[in-house]
Amino acid sequence: MSRFFATGSDSESEESSSADEIAPKSTGTFKQSLLVSDDEEDTKRVVRSAKDKRFEELTNIIKTIRNAMKIRDMAKCLEEFEQLCRAFLKSKNIVDKEGVPSFYIRLLADLEDYLNQLWEDKEGKKKMNKNNAKALSTLRQKIRKYNRDYESEITAYKENPQESADEEEEKEPEDSGSSESDSDGEEEVTAKAFLKKKPEALPDASKFLKSAKGSGDESSSSDDDDDEDDEGWGSDTVSSQSESSDEGEGKSANLALVFLKKTQESDKPTEKKVSKKKKPKKKERLEEEAEDEGEEAEGGWEKVKGGVPLVKEKPKMFAKGTEINTTVVVKKLHEILQARGKKGTDRAAQIELLHALAAISNEHNLGQGILVKIKFNIIASLYDYNPNLAAFMKADMWKKCLDCIDELLDILFEHNNIFIGENIAEDSENLAISDQPFRVRGCVLTLAERMDEEFTKIMQNTDPHSQEYVDNLKDEGRVCGIIDRLLNYLENKGSTEEICRVYLRRIMHTYYKFDYKAHRRSLGLQGETKSEQDQVESEGEDSAVIMDRLCKFIYAKDRTDRIRTCAILCHIYHHALHSRWYQARDLMLMSHLQDNIQHADPPVQILYNRTMVQLGICAFRQGMIKDAHNALLDIQSSGRAKELLGQGLLMRNMQERNAEQEKIEKRRQVPFHMHINLELLECVYLVSAMLLEIPYMAAHEFDARRRMISKQFHHQLRVGERQPLLGPPESMREHVVAASKAMKMGDWRTCHTFIINEKMNSKVWDLFPETQREKQMLVRKIQEESLRTYLFTYSSVYDSISMEMLSQMFELEIPMVHSIISKMIINEELMASLDQPTQTVVMHRTEPTSLQNMALQLAEKLGSLVENNERVFDLKQGVYGGYFNRDQKGGYQQKQSYQRDQKGGYQQKQSGYQRGGYRNQNQSNY
């Protein structure tokens, strides 16, 4: 009721009004005094024990899970359960001391029962959306696997759920920071925790207010709520009276001064005094913080602050007094591995934990079984250190990986009673020391294959022209050593499939290397080795013998096409690299790989392209020019030799691929030390094309249907002809073009000087193992083809020509000249005859003039026109017999000309489908 309608006396109304006026004023003074106090200078600090903090976090997550269970939100349940597992893992140290909290066990049991109930409800599952159904299945599997570690606690809870719930309720008020307690020690702790800087009498009053607030409110207040209560309700008359009664006269004087601050100007010096008083209090606060830190280190109080958390000490592996046995170590290993692959996991720390666990198992002599299992996981963690597939291992991680694999192989070689395999289930593992042999789940071969892939990635991502590349390449010796040790291990204990896989790894590190020591032995140069080490190495097994043994085992035992295909291609490559042309050619023809290689995966296709290129270079070294050209034609004619051989990406094709495809193709690239010299490859191809094309062009100079043997070679010739100024050749292509022009004129010496000189030697020919032999073969081929070109070009000028003169001109033996001319006559390339007594070549002058050649071309075109007209006419009339009968009688002479073509020669294809032998009939008339 308002005081204006009060029935009392005026004095009562005055007292009430004065009381009403005094109350808000006292509030203002108290608030202003709080503003002056030191507590408001910094943010509020809340000190809680680590146990309270962790358990509160778990309780909040459990509440969220139970809310999600009520609305059947399985996706939310799954997400919060994973978060709960992570939070529980953080609380591991506290749980080891205090034991697993009962509310945690209660949730695990309830959640499992709830999920089983939902799983059995078929109708309810059908009504779920896709995300919830998937989350239900995943969460059910996870909770079943997770609850295995807490089977005894869950069983105890299910036997007597009421007692477990009562115990939980008893623990909650003890754990909460705002609960009241009768013990004086707890009162002192709470007072000291919340109001450290107040005088001694003030904590009682503040606690009185908190308890009154707590009795009025149903929910228990947290520490932060208490601080807010102090700020919001600190102006009550009770609190102000208690403060005024407890404080001295000096304090009341300060309050009066503060209250009269706005009306009096003399308050400014007092404010300065107050600010001066703050400074010593800051020192006191720093000392108290130091004391608090000491208390935290001793007794378990933790001060919570905002910002980046400080780096804490490494958690202890096991609690004090824990008996270290195989079961405990395996459990700890699973705990460490649970964090693997999750967001925010420190991978380096995980590797250190695994190393520490291995040291503990060694220290307590738990046996080699558990040590092998830990080593497997250490190596796997090293591989997973880089989450990105394209990233390569750093140098320190790479060294650790090699050392761990070596240590693992040492253990396996020293202890024959350890059986490892991917088919061993985790439940059937035997890791403890017993009479039975150790059984460990894992595969050493998979680790070695991953190591080999990581080595390839390291070489791909290193600058090939730096010293770092050379240093990394030195590790190939260790990689091959590990593969050899693994090969010896698997030959005794591995399956046939595993032996084939490790053999292929060994082959892939051998096939591209030229065996110089075997080459020296074949030449009889063993005595030239200087050191004893070289002599010991030279006495070792040849790479050809190793390749033959490994590949033949794969041919006989392998059941997968891919391993056998790779082994065949590597075997052919190795044969071709060592100039064993006939073995390489026969193996390629017998394998029929060229028929279905387009269906293979890209790495195998790259290996096939490399093998064909090496086969072509081998044919060139053996003087098989036509075979060399045919082998290199597909790669060189595409203009993408660099890309097809896996030695780089072409910039002009960047628009055709996206970023993801580009990353995939970069991972397929061959390391630089395995590259084939592209300039050497192009030079071999162009020289082969020159030796075939120039004589053919001379023989068919006036032929309208002349085909091109090599488009790329013709393109280089056209580029050379377009140049306005012809200087001395500089590049390899210019040398070949200049040599072609000289050969076309029959000048073999000029051709020889353009092909073989210091510049070409340094770029190309010195890269061959037998340089002198290759140069002699090349000179001989140039002389022979120049002779053929000379005869094609100038045969119309001569009536007869002496073979002795041709022998002197081209520096060939007379029998060789005789052989070349005889072949040309037999193949009907040269219209001439040999006169044996005089050793001369008599020309028959049957070559037509340019006018006659034009007439022949006109006749051929008219013949094809008549043939097409007759075919169209027959189709319209519906009469087919005449065309086919005429064809069978040989009117178009297709079969006759084909039989003549089989004899060889450069004219075999152009006359294949010409009408009725016009040219041969007319030539006899001329």
Calculate the CA 217 to chain-centre distance.
Answer: 60
Q: Which of 229-243, 587-601, 692-706, 902-916 has the highest mean pLDDT?
A: 587-601
Residue-wise pLDDT for 784-841, tens only, equals 999 999 998 888 888 889 999 999 999 999 999 999 999 999 998 888 899 888 889 9
User: Quick one: the chain helix, strand, coil %, rounded to 5?
Assistant: 70, 5, 25
Residue-wise pLDDT for 403-434, tens only, equals 999 999 999 998 888 888 888 887 777 777 77
Say how far apart CA 101 and CA 109 lie, in whole Å.
13
Determine the pLDDT at residue 535: 54
Determine which of 265-269, 357-361, 398-402 has the lowest per-residue pLDDT on average.
265-269
Determine the pLDDT at residue 589: 93
Determine the pLDDT at residue 797: 84
Query: Is residue 295 included in any domain, yes or no?
Result: no
3-state SS track over 532-579:
HHHHHHHCCCCHHHHHHHHHHHHHHHCCCHHHHHHHHHHHHHHHHHCC
Calculate the CA 17 to chain-centre distance.
Answer: 83
pLDDT, averaged across the chain: 75
- Is 41's pLDDT higher than 80? no
* pLDDT confidence bin for 546, thresholds 50/70/90: very high
* pLDDT confidence bin for 875, thresholds 50/70/90: confident
Say how far apart CA 584 and CA 587 lie, in whole Å.
5
Determine the pLDDT at residue 873: 87
Determine the pLDDT at residue 624: 92
- Is 575's pLDDT higher than 90? yes
DSSP code, position 632: H
Say how far apart CA 476 and CA 482 lie, in whole Å.
10
Query: Is residue 136 included in any domain, yes or no?
Result: yes
For residue 676, what are the contacts with CB-CB under 8 A and spacing of at least 6? Answer: 610, 613, 614, 645, 647
Query: Is residue 421 included in any domain, yes or no?
Result: yes
SS3 709: coil
The burial of 290, by beta-carbon neighbours within 10 Å (0-12 exposed, 13-18 middle, 19 or more buried), is given as exposed
Domain range for 348 is 323-443
- Is 273's pLDDT higher than 90? no
Determine the pLDDT at residue 586: 94
Specify the number of domains making up the chain: 3
Determine the pLDDT at residue 421: 83
For residue 879, what are the contacts with CB-CB under 8 A and spacing of at least 6? Answer: none
Residue-wise pLDDT for 752-786, tens only, equals 999 999 989 888 999 998 889 999 999 999 999 99
Average pLDDT over residues 867-879: 82
Residue-wise pLDDT for 452-469, tens only, equals 999 999 999 999 999 999
Q: Are strands 418-421 and 438-441 parallel, antiparallel or unpaired?
A: parallel
Q: What are phi and psi of 882, to 5 degrees?
A: -60, -40
Identify which has the larger pLDDT, 414 or 44: 414
Average pLDDT over residues 710-728: 85
Tell me the percentage of the chain whose pLDDT exceeds 70: 69
Say how far apart CA 735 and CA 715 lie, in whole Å.
15
The burial of 785, by beta-carbon neighbours within 10 Å (0-12 exposed, 13-18 middle, 19 or more buried), is given as buried
Calculate the CA 208 to chain-centre distance.
Answer: 66
Determine the pLDDT at residue 922: 40
Average pLDDT over residues 136-140: 90
* pTM listed for this prediction: 0.60
Rg (alpha carbons) of the chain, rounded to whole number: 47
Determine the pLDDT at residue 649: 83
Say how far apart CA 589 and CA 594 lie, in whole Å.
8
DSSP E strands in 314-356: the ranges are none
- Is 202's pLDDT higher than 50? no
Determine which of 554-563, 691-700, 877-886 has the lowest per-residue pLDDT on average.
877-886
The one-letter amino acid code at 543 reads S
Say how far apart CA 643 and CA 646 lie, in whole Å.
5
Query: Is residue 614 included in any domain, yes or no?
Result: no
CA-based end-to-end distance of the chain: 145
Tell me the percentage of the chain whose pLDDT exceeds 90: 30
Query: Is residue 600 included in any domain, yes or no?
Result: no
Q: Which of 459, 454, 348, 467 minimizes the C-alpha distance to 401?
A: 454
- Is 2's pLDDT higher than 50? no
Query: Is residue 228 included in any domain, yes or no?
Result: no
Identify which has the larger pLDDT, 265 or 776: 776
Helix (H) or strand (E) holding 446: helix 444-460
The burial of 609, by beta-carbon neighbours within 10 Å (0-12 exposed, 13-18 middle, 19 or more buried), is given as buried
User: What angle, rounded to 10 degrees, do the helices at 223-233 and 202-216 form?
Assistant: 100
Residue-wise pLDDT for 636-666, tens only, equals 988 889 989 999 887 765 566 777 888 888 8
Structure tokens of 325? Answer: 């046995």
User: What angle, rounded to 10 degrees, do the helices at 326-338 and 347-363 form?
Assistant: 180
Last residue of a domain, one of 787, 815, 843: 843
Determine the pLDDT at residue 120: 87
Query: Is residue 745 included in any domain, yes or no?
Result: yes
- Is 673's pLDDT higher than 80? yes
Counted residue by residue, the chain has a size of 926
Determine the pLDDT at residue 18: 42
- Is 189's pLDDT higher than 70? no
CB 646 within 8 A of CB 664: no
Residue-wise pLDDT for 326-376, tens only, equals 888 888 888 888 887 777 778 888 888 898 888 888 888 888 888 999 999
* pLDDT confidence bin for 704, thresholds 50/70/90: low
Query: Is residue 30 included in any domain, yes or no?
Result: no
Last residue of a domain, one of 104, 124, 159: 159
Average pLDDT over residues 21-36: 41
Last residue of a domain, one of 159, 194, 214: 159
